[in-house]
Structure 1
Amino acid sequence: MEGKEPREPNFKDGFERLVCQEDLEDEEHQNYHQANRINLQVLTFSMGRCRTLASVSMMVLAAALLIADIALADQYKKRTDAHLTSADVERIGEEVAKLQGAYHTAVESMKGAQKQLNIERDSQTETIFELDHQKKRSKDYQVQIGQLQWEVSTMRSHLPIISDGCKYCPEGWLFLNSYCYFYPFSARFGLKTWQQAREFCQMYGGDLLVIDSKDKENSTVRFLMKNKNPSSSSDQPFWFGLRGLEGTWKWLNGAVLTEGFWMQGQPNNQNNNEDCAAVTAKTNIFQAWNVANCDSRRKWICEKVSSTQTEPL
């Protein structure tokens, strides 16, 4: 088998087959080569079929990838269409800037309005204070007017008594039941202690009133009720001529008190310095007296014998 050159390779259907020349010429191996050729053909057919299936598979895969690519492109296009363009963004930015400007303008306007409101409130507060002040003054004036009207009406009711009193009593005193009485209803007379009130009465020839009978108590309290100041919120007490001395209540003439017209629980002298008596205008004349500190200031009632019982003025 020396000297035999190998034959050129033979390629069929893309499959390389290498066959030695000496194998082809060998008769003993003829059948073997024939069978081998058949096997190679079968293998070649099988490989071709596999390559066909692979090609089909690749085509199917390519088609699937193409479809997926088209679908992705469509989705991307939809997403791209859904996004705003630069022009839209710029337009929205301008609108936002306008809204911000309008907002700042509204805030500044609101601040200005609030400032003006505060100024108006301050001015209104001063006006309210002034109004309250004027109301108070008006109320004070009404009280004064009521006081003056009461004094005028009181003087008018006393005119007949004063007319007769001018004949028998000092000026400003009232002539009642043949006696002269002084009731300082007017505020111009002020208030006095018990001793000061007595000295005032003595200066005119009289003394503090002595209420030593029920009739005198009745006439005194009724007169006080008739001339009671309507503007006064409480009953005003008037000193009269009864004083506690060494635990005993006595009149100015030294007579001991036998019948008193005390308020409920009086006299109590709870502070050991309430030794003077005062009478007030009460509906119940039997409970019109109370005790007070002699140094406290009250109105008072003077009593004086009229000139008809002595001699004409």
Structure 2
Amino acid sequence: MTDFTSTVRMERRENSGCNFDGGFNTLICQDDLHDEEHPSYSPSNQNRQQVFMSKMTQGRHGRLAVVSLVALAALLLIVDISLGINYNKLKDTHLATDDTERIEKEMNKLQDAYKTAIENTETTKKQLNSEMGRQKETNWELEHQTKRKHEYEIMIDKITQDIASKRSHLPMIKDGCKHCPAGWILMNLMCYYFPFLGNTGLKTWQKSREFCQMHGGDLMIIDSKDKENSTVNVLLKNVDPSTPNTGFWFGLRDFHEEGTWKWLNGSVLVEGYWNDGEPNNINNEDCAAVYPRENYFKAWNDVSCGATMKWICEKAPI
């Protein structure tokens, strides 16, 4: 019965066709699979099925191992190629010892050049600051001239008046040298009185003028830049530093009936050396005073004539 069953199966395999699985090297037929789905109760059939399943499992494991080895070999090949490429790049970019020394020398040269440039810059800054200091007075004069550029039309008349004033005040040196009395100083060929240390106290503008007239002179007329500069320099050198805002009357007034500032000799003020915002005529400030300010182009203020302060007298030498 068993031989007959085997013969029938072989014939059925030949008639129905079988598939060959190269991976397992095992011939698997549809009848076998059919028999596996519907196994008989024969003990030989059970043994044969167990052998077949064992071979199937071993074949699958072997195929997975082969695939894993192939993938690992490919990965190692890629890593090896990458390492070779990176090594070649490293060799190409590697700096020789001579190159390092040359770069170091160039860096030292650049550092020396940088230090020299810094030193030159500092020297130039010091020279510039020194020059700016020397140009301070020039800048003041430029600012002053810019502020009064609208007055240029009357400059010719101003110069004419200055010449006339100087001629009337020039001392005639005749029959020997002339000099200033005690307590007066000679400046610009004229005698001036500054009550720095005297016991005369402070006076109103009118009382100050009377004092000057009593001594043969009058309040000072400051009608030129040179006289302004000289006067302010004397104040800066002699005024008590603890009272830097001390003002000194001089011979300039604002006459309300005409609305103009005039000198005591009757001439109209052409160029004034007023501080910023002055004259502002607050509380009827009709008299002028000069102050010891470094920028002598801004040394004048208008002050109420009834205020008391020091003064400056002027007269010709004797």
Larger radius of gyration: 1
Q: Does the TM-score normalized on the shorter chain lie above 0.5?
A: no
Which of the five TM-score ranges fits, normalised by the shorter chain? 0.3 to 0.5
TM-score by length of 1: 0.43
